Chain A
Amino acid sequence: GQSLEQPSEVTAVEGAIVQINCTYQTSGFYGLSWYQQHDGGAPTFLSYNALDGLEETGRFSSFLSRSDSYGYLLLQELQMKDSASYFCAVIPGWGKLQFGAGTQVVVTP
């Protein structure tokens, strides 16, 4: 079957570093995306990895290993506003997105 696994919740203090892992099993693979969603809002695109390696965008970085069917999102210098749900999503083909269940990140003072 097709599945994406990511932790349900992560709690960390301001200024800390959080890594959200995502493992996937899909029938096709074109890339791994990460989205942030605050309560009541729509998902916001964070990053996309089509090739192996690390992509850095400011405080957020995303990594992909296609051979391991694994990726992660790294949140550095955590801020209170980073409290949100984070979804990994695979593009298996045909333009579709398949989402993980989401990781609730809770940032504490």
Chain B
Amino acid sequence: GAVVSQHPSWVICKSGTSVKIECRSLDFQATTMFWYRQFPKQSLMLMATSNEGSKATYEQGVEKDKFLINHASLTLSTLTVTSAHPEDSSFYICSASLDDNQPQHFGDGTRLSIL
């Protein structure tokens, strides 16, 4: 149980493009999902908490207008990187858990490269 699917795996696009990443919980309902960003050789940094049916909660320093999060159902959260620039190139990973204080399970991640 607790399978999280993320799509797409790779995105390469031009600067100024907006990119949408999907995160799905396949075998459970997740009222809360999380979005992380990871730069090479670094740890995972939490960007935001995605709450089903309400606004996302962003971590300090993360631009909410740049990284749009929509959690429209109990099994799907999307992260849209708007007007992406080369500095947004990173590994984006989502996660979800069965319960707020239970271990999180991660999607396979999306490697975003902005040219």
Q: Do A and B bind each other?
A: yes
A interface residues with partner B (beta carbon < 8 Å): 30-31, 33, 35, 40-45, 48, 87, 91, 93-102
Interface size on B, residues (CB 8 A): 23
Q: Is the interface of A mostly helix, strand, loop or mixed?
A: strand
Cross-chain contact A42 with B109 (CB below 8 angstroms): yes
State whether A93 and B101 are in contact (beta carbons under 8 Å apart), knowing that A42-B93, A87-B43 are contacts in the complex.
Answer: yes
Cross-chain contact A43 with B93 (CB below 8 angstroms): yes
Within 8 Å of chain A (Cβ to Cβ): is B78? no
Q: Could you count the A-B residue pairs with CB atoms below 8 Å apart for me: how many are there?
A: 57
Cross-chain contact A95 with B46 (CB below 8 angstroms): no
Cβ contacts under 8 Å, A99 to chain B: 43-44
Cβ contacts under 8 Å, A33 to chain B: 103-104
Fill in one digit per residue for B97-115: 1 if any A CB lies within 8 Å of its CB, else 0: 1011111111111010000
